């Protein structure tokens, strides 16, 4: 059995440097996808030092959703990324809300598609308030430069099935971040 794939530090440094340069939003998203898609899940979620790629994935989707002109990772610790819209630069901290204790790197890769019952969607939907509370509490406990926004990726696979119920939950779950962040977006 061969050793698990590890991405060399020089490759990671090159990717980080490349993604820290301003790029047109579509080109940034394409480049992030070119880097991320071939990575085995146990590497992407398990190897230390890859958090910047997860931030880049969120930044790429945020830049597209907000119709940004340009996007880049911020080379400093905080915030995670910047977007350029109509001549203005907006900074964001990226985070992901997920089920407590989930370790995606430990999940088996599925060889084939399998059914995902609606009951499971509901179970994951009902986990959103706790997941939001956990990440928002963590983020508001840190110091950020003035004017930084918060971009939260909710990774709970509800497939937009509970939108009418979900919007108030998202508003309530992110309310305590409004005094720390200029804006709060949930994807």
CA dist., res. 150 & res. 80, Å (int) = 10
- As a dihedral over the C-alpha atoms of residue 32, residue 120, residue 126, residue 94, rounded to 10 degrees, the angle is -10
CB crowding 61-91: b at 16 or more within 10 Å, else e: bbbeebebebbbbbeeeebbbbbbeeeeebb
17-56 as b/e, with b when 16 or more CB fall inside 10 Å?
A: eebbeebebeebbebbeebbeeeeebebbebeebebbbbb
Percent of the chain with pLDDT over 70: 93
Distance of alpha carbon 81 from alpha carbon 95, whole angstroms: 11
Q: Is the pLDDT of residue 154 over 70?
A: yes
Distance separating alpha carbons of residues 141 and 95, to the nearest angstrom: 14
Average of pLDDT values for 123-151?
Answer: 94
> What value does the mean pLDDT of the chain take?
91
Q: Is it the case that residue 68 has pLDDT exceeding 80?
A: yes
> Beta-strand (E) ranges in the chain?
23-24, 70-73, 81-85, 88-97, 149-154, 184-186
> pLDDT digits over 96-129, tens only?
998 887 776 666 666 677 888 888 888 888 999 9
Q: Which of 24-28, 40-44, 88-92 has the lowest mean pLDDT?
A: 40-44
Residue 170 CB coordination number (10 Å): 19
Asked if the peptide bond before residue 156 counts as cis, ω within 30 degrees of 0, the response is: no
pLDDT for 1 beyond 60: no
């Amino acid at each position: 059995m061969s050793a698990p794939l590890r991405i060399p530090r020089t490759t990671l440094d090159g990717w980080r440097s490349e993604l820290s340069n301003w790029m047109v939003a579509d080109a940034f998203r394409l480049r992030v996808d070119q880097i991320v898609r071939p990575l085995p899940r146990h590497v992407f979620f398990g190897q230390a030092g890859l958090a910047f790629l997860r931030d880049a994935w969120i930044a790429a989707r945020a830049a597209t959703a907000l119709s940004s002109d340009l996007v880049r990772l911020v080379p400093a610790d905080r915030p995670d990324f910047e977007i350029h819209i109509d001549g203005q630069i907006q900074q964001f901290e990226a985070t992901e809300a997920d089920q407590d204790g989930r370790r995606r790197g430990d999940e088996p890769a599925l060889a084939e598609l399998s059914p995902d019952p609606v009951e499971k969607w509901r179970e994951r939907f009902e986990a959103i308030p706790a997941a939001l509370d956990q990440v928002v509490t963590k983020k508001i406990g840190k110091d950020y430069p003035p004017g930084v926004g918060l971009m939260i990726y909710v990774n709970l696979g509800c497939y937009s099935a509970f939108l009418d119920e979900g919007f108030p939950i998202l508003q309530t779950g992110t309310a305590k971040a409004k005094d720390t962040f200029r804006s709060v977006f949930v994807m």
